[in-house]
Structure 1
Amino acid sequence: MNIEQEWEASYAGRDAAEFAHLAEGNARQARKRVSADALIRDEAGRLLLVDPTYKPDWDLPGGMAEANEPPRDALRRELKEELGLDPQVGDLLCVDWVSPHGPWDDLLAFVFDGGALTQQQAQGLRSVDPELAAVRFCSPEEAAQLLRPYVWRRVHVALAVLGGGGVRYLQDGHS
């Protein structure tokens, strides 16, 4: 039984006005933007970064979830659309609540383990989407210079979790 079926079963026979009241309350609740990124490495352990044309800095591969799209599915879609990749997306490493900034509302940023690409996969990797100006593998030290500070803090934590297990919750990249 999926969640929709479970919900229908628990509300079966209840008053339609109650349903309308719940729907009205739902419509007034805040909506969160959600992003899903992957920590993808090559065989040497270097990190895959992308250079989006619409941002001033480099970023992890991934992107924004569409309405009602699970973060893992959003990540798979974005990796396919932007890089032609269809990797096995691994465990969740961290979730970062990013406070409102510039024109943007707050955001929940999910970072998943994207695994390691073979040497052949890494060498053949190219952007297949005009949203990306470039892709590259780099050391963590280089990534720290290329990424915005709060993104680097998130990546740094994700790398630590990758080696030690568990999931971390962050706020603007801080524990």
Structure 2
Amino acid sequence: MRPTAPDPSDAAAWNAYLAEGNAKQARKRVAADVLLRDPSGRVLLVNPTYKPGWDLPGGMAEANEPPEDTVRRELMEELGLRITLLGLLIVDWVAPHGPWDDQLAFIFDGGVLQADQVDRLRPRDGELSEAAFVPAAEAAGRLRDRIRHRFEHALKALETGRPLYLHDGGAAM
């Protein structure tokens, strides 16, 4: 039986009703990465110290943090880089795997960095051991399967100017 909603004009009862629903609804983990290029078209990859393999710059959202703010925060913390995002490339629903529940993974277009930004770019904290600009084909070879599929779709979205929605790295629609 579905609970009866209180009168919305009773603010306290309405907020209690909404809080109860909020407590019962699923919560999603959110990851947000960025596709950044140098003036010659190479893409930026980072090598995290806390997991195997290379990755796109970005990370996990904090509680109630919008994905685009996640990317900006992670870039500043890990690389000392401030950028303007140019748009959304990918939203990927990632099914539960291993000990993890499902998640939403975003990739944003970070555009092309200026040559002086590229020259100054280096890891700023212990989460990254390396940062490197590499050709897209080499990047695909360095990335683990899950992120590689997302990366390849991000390149297509960049080319077509249309964001893509994926399921586990594959086209959903």
TM-score normalised by the chain length of structure 2? 0.91
Cα RMSD after superposing both structures: 1.4
Identical amino acids, percent of aligned pairs: 58
1:21-170 mapped onto 2 (5 Å cutoff): 21-170=17-166
Which whole-Å deviations, capped at 9, do the CAs of 1:62-98 have from their partners, x for residues lacking one? Answer: 1111111111111101100000000111100110111
TM-score normalised by the chain length of structure 1? 0.90
- 2:8·2:14 contact (CA, 8 Å) conserved in 1? no
Distance between the aligned counterparts of 2:25 and 2:117, measured in 1? Answer: 43
Distance between the aligned counterparts of 2:14 and 2:110, measured in 1? Answer: 43
The alpha carbon displacement at 1:12 in A equals: 6.2
Unaligned runs of 5+ in 2: 1-6
Greater fraction helix: 1
The alpha carbon displacement at 1:15 in A equals: 5.4
The alpha carbon displacement at 1:27 in A equals: 0.4
- 4+ runs of 1 displaced by more than 4 Å? none
Distance between the aligned counterparts of 2:132 and 2:97, measured in 1? Answer: 27
The alpha carbon displacement at 1:55 in A equals: 1.0
Change over 3 Å in CA distance of 1:15–1:47 after alignment to 2: closer
Unaligned runs of 5+ in 1: 1-10
Letter in structure 1 aligned against 2:100:
W
The alpha carbon displacement at 1:103 in A equals: 2.2
The alpha carbon displacement at 1:135 in A equals: 0.5
